[in-house]
């Protein structure tokens, strides 16, 4: 198990829950939003922002991304989101843990698209919800797969998470205070799948090489547990992923911990 500090789109993409500000399809670490609200309290936003991932291992390169998208939401009730992301690196290379980290958190690399939707309701004084989020990215994977010759393969990672949440509604610190907070626990099924040339039979020797993933698998299934705290427009979170594979994948298999912070800064609002 290796903790990883990640503030950025993928941290957002994996940590999203209904009723949170922004949208784990898809809040970001630094985000401005153009917004227009309707009479029933629902809001349409245009999120524009970016993020950076700071890995725990010195062998892993720092990955960042910028994004733009659309979101329609009503606080503590429902949301629908879609985002396009652009990572600072379009070619993925490095140690096996770099490839494993890219499989765990795909949206910090290459060009990506992610979408999410959720619905929540009050039951017995707590907020209960269901959410679905998923997406795909496109990159190039480059490594010395045979130990000598450098090989580049077009590929990417698709992801999907189906989860349930339990938490509080958005509450003021005290009566009449504009400062708010919210707690959410998110748990569910998650998967990753290699796509493009990387998933083809011809790429089996490449992805099975110990210098890349070290396994022949193209699809990985597991479980995800996240705890999120909303403090006004700041959302720190911790996420635990548990994936299974034919053999251990460095930076991906077993229990992986991701810690991150999402922060939203509204550009303007129209009410």
Give me the pLDDT at residue 240, please: 93
For residue 30, is pLDDT > 70? no
Give me the pLDDT at residue 19, please: 35
pTM for the structure as a whole: 0.80
What average pLDDT does the segment 159-167 reach?
Answer: 96
3-state secondary structure of 103: helix
Q: Does domain 3-270 have CATH number 3.40.50?
A: no
Task: Say which DSSP state 61 is in.
Answer: P
For residue 7, is pLDDT > 50? no
What average pLDDT does the segment 192-216 reach?
Answer: 93
- For the chain, the first-to-last Cα distance in angstroms comes to 46
Domain boundaries, the chain: 3-270
For residue 199, is pLDDT > 70? yes
Q: Which of 30-34, 88-92, 138-142, 251-255 has the highest mean pLDDT?
A: 138-142
Give me the pLDDT at residue 263, please: 63
CA 185 distance to own-chain centroid: 16
What torsion, rounded to 10 degrees, do the Cα atoms 15, 12, 130, 231 define?
80
Lowest mean pLDDT among 50-54, 55-59, 203-207, 260-264: 55-59
Lowest mean pLDDT among 57-71, 108-122, 164-178: 57-71
What average pLDDT does the segment 190-215 reach?
Answer: 94
Q: Rounded to an integer, what distance in angstroms lies between the CA atom of residue 225 and that of residue 189?
A: 9
For residue 92, is pLDDT > 70? yes
Facing residues of 44 across strands?
36, 72
């Amino acid at each position: 198990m290796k903790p990883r500090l990640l503030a950025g789109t993928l941290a957002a993409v994996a940590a999203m829950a209904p009723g949170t500000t922004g949208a784990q399809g898809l809040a970001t670490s630094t985000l401005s939003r153009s917004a227009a609200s309707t009479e029933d309290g629902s809001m349409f936003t245009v999120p524009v922002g970016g993020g950076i991932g700071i890995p725990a291992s010195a062998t892993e390169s720092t990955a960042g991304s910028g994004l733009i998208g659309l979101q329609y939401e009503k606080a503590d009730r429902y949301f629908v989101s879609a985002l396009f992301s652009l990572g600072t690196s379009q070619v993925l290379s490095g140690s096996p843990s770099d490839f494993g980290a890219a499989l765990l958190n795909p949206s910090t690399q290459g060009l990506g698209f992610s979408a999410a939707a959720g619905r929540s309701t009050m039951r017995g004084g707590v907020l209960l919800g269901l959410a679905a989020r998923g997406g795909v990215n496109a990159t190039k994977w480059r490594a010395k797969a045979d130990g000598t010759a450098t090989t580049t393969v077009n590929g990417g990672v698709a992801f999907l998470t189906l989860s349930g949440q339990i938490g509080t509604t958005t509450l003021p610190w005290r009566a009449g205070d504009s400062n708010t907070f919210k707690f959410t626990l998110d748990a569910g099924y998650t998967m990753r799948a290699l796509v493009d040339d990387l998933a083809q039979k011809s790429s089996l020797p490449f992805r099975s090489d110990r210098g890349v993933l070290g396994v022949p698998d193209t699809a990985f299934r597991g479980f995800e547990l996240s705890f999120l705290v909303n403090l006004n427009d700041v959302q720190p979170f911790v996420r635990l992923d548990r994936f299974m594979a034919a053999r251990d994948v460095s930076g991906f298999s077993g229990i992986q911990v991701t810690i991150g912070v999402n922060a939203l800064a509204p550009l303007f609002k129209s009410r």
